[in-house]
Amino acid sequence: MAANLDLSKPIVIGGDHAGFDLKKTLIEYLKEKGYEVVDKGLFENVSVDYPDYAHPVADLVESGMAAFGILICGSANGVAMTANKHQGIRAGLSWNAEVASLIRQHNDANIICIPARFVSVDLAKEMVDIFITTAFEGGRHQNRVNKISCS
């Protein structure tokens, strides 16, 4: 299935200290594949508050300036909760390949949240590849997605 993400736009990525090393690895991986990547930090491995990095990623996705976002923290719950406070965001937490596919197919997720403490580098790469290449199915799922927003 072909992606319906606008890959003419950059991918935006961010994370906290728990996701620092994985974020660097994913940036290199995506650039090697020819994608433009915008890094919203963390830029040095020090303890930080994850919302300070999740909000800028969500802002770029919500504004349409980025194709989609990648957020990384220890469990990915904090960054997912933060990003999902934005009305135009559907951030899905993914811990395996099937979930990475389903959050695109069924939920039209525009940010993938990766739990750095619970997935390998290879699995994280696989999940990002699946997220990029999987299209939203629409159909019966569209009505459900339309009911997510509170506005």
Catalytic residues, by residue number, are 73, 106
Residues 6+ apart with CB under 8 A from 109: 90, 91, 92, 103, 131
Phi, psi values for residue 37, rounded to 5°: -125, 130
Determine the Cα–Cα distance for residues 80 and 111; give it in Å rounded to an integer: 8
Determine the Cα–Cα distance for residues 108 and 50; give it in Å rounded to an integer: 23
> How many degrees, rounded to 5, is the angle at CA 5 between CA 59 and CA 64?
25
